[in-house]
């Protein structure tokens, strides 16, 4: 599939900016768990994404065991968002981010500080502390967080200019577990780029996030573990574009009662 088929006129005219960098695609894609490097490359092209996440654990600056993977990403011409995936302490996350900046040559970092093994829920206390340390050191932090409003405020105060609340536990495919919380976050921080990150399983989940007014969606497992990752990547690109266009179109308000869509004036009345 030609990735350019995902780029409608609306997409090109409606970019999203992260730390001053504009991108046309509102789909961010992870790079783990794909059946092969070739399928990964095809899925990235089909998605039209301009940003991919990469865990430092997939690279090795000494043994160069990950250099073929890194070359593949370079050849695709996409931006890299290094990820501190799997880090459980502030020190581990900060050290991993520093190594990633040296290896990938970018101040961007997707910051994860995991606090619970079963749900992979963020340790929001460690997350805020790590974000403060990293932004002070010149990093541009994309924090993987919850939809908690207080945590969001503290992350912004720590220097984060993007927030990435989870939709559901990582890899669960459950979609948007707390629509009320996600809508509240969007309403409270209208000027902050918000990216739904984790738990998205279907294109309809991604479209729903965009219809809430979110700026982008980041996902990995839903594409990588699909029977046809390339086709699924294309489906997600179309769903996200549709959701964004729906928001711009100003959807109708939800009503409790029916409202006829066909005018009733002038209809024929039959006598008894």
DSSP states along 162-199: -BEE-SSSTT-----S-HHHHHHHHHH-TTS-BEEES-
Q: Is 131 exposed, middle or buried (0-12, 13-18, 19+ CB in 10 A)?
A: buried
Q: How far apart are CA 206 and CA 216, in angstroms?
A: 9
Whether residue 48 is annotated as binding a ligand: the answer is: no
Residue 110 a catalytic site member: yes
Q: Which of 7, 64, 88, 110 is catalytic?
A: 110
User: How remote is the C-alpha of 51 from its chain's centroid?
Assistant: 10
Residues 6+ apart with CB under 8 A from 151: 124, 127, 128, 145
Whether residue 95 is annotated as binding a ligand: the answer is: no
Type and span of the H or E element at 134: helix 124-136
Whether residue 199 is annotated as binding a ligand: the answer is: yes
Smallest CA-to-CA distance from 50 within 83, 103, 12, 88 is with 12
Whether residue 198 is annotated as binding a ligand: the answer is: yes
- Binding-site residues for 1-deoxy-D-xylulose 5-phosphate sit at 171, 198-199, 220-221
**Active-site residue set:** 110
């Amino acid at each position: 599939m030609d990735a350019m088929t995902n780029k409608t006129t609306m997409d090109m005219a409606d970019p999203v900016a992260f730390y001053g960098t504009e991108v046309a695609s509102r789909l961010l894609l992870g790079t783990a768990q794909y059946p092969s490097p070739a399928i990964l490359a095809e899925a990235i092209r089909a998605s039209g994404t301009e940003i991919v996440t990469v865990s430092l654990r997939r690279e090795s600056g000494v043994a160069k065991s990950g250099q073929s993977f890194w070359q593949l990403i370079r050849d695709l011409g996409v931006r890299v968002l290094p990820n501190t995936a799997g880090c459980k302490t502030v020190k581990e996350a900060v050290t991993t981010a520093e190594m990633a900046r040296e290896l990938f040559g970018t101040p961007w970092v997707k910051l994860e500080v995991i606090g619970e093994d079963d749900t992979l829920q963020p340790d929001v206390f460690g997350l805020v502390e790590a974000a403060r340390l990293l932004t002070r050191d010149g990093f541009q932090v994309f924090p993987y967080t919850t939809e908690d409003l207080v945590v969001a405020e503290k992350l912004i105060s720590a220097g984060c200019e993007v927030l990435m609340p989870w939709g559901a536990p990582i890899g669960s495919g459950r979609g948007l577990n707390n629509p009320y919380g996600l809508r509240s976050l969007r309403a409270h921080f209208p000027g902050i780029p918000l990216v739904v990150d984790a738990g998205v399983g279907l294109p309809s989940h991604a479209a729903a996030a965009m219809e809430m007014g979110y700026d982008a969606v980041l996902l990995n497992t839903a594409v990588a573990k699909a029977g046809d990752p390339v086709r699924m990547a294309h489906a997600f690109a179309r769903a996200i574009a549709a959701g964004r266009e729906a928001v711009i179109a100003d959807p109708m308000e939800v009503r409790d009662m029916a409202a006829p869509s066909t005018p009733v004036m002038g209809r024929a009345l039959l006598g008894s």
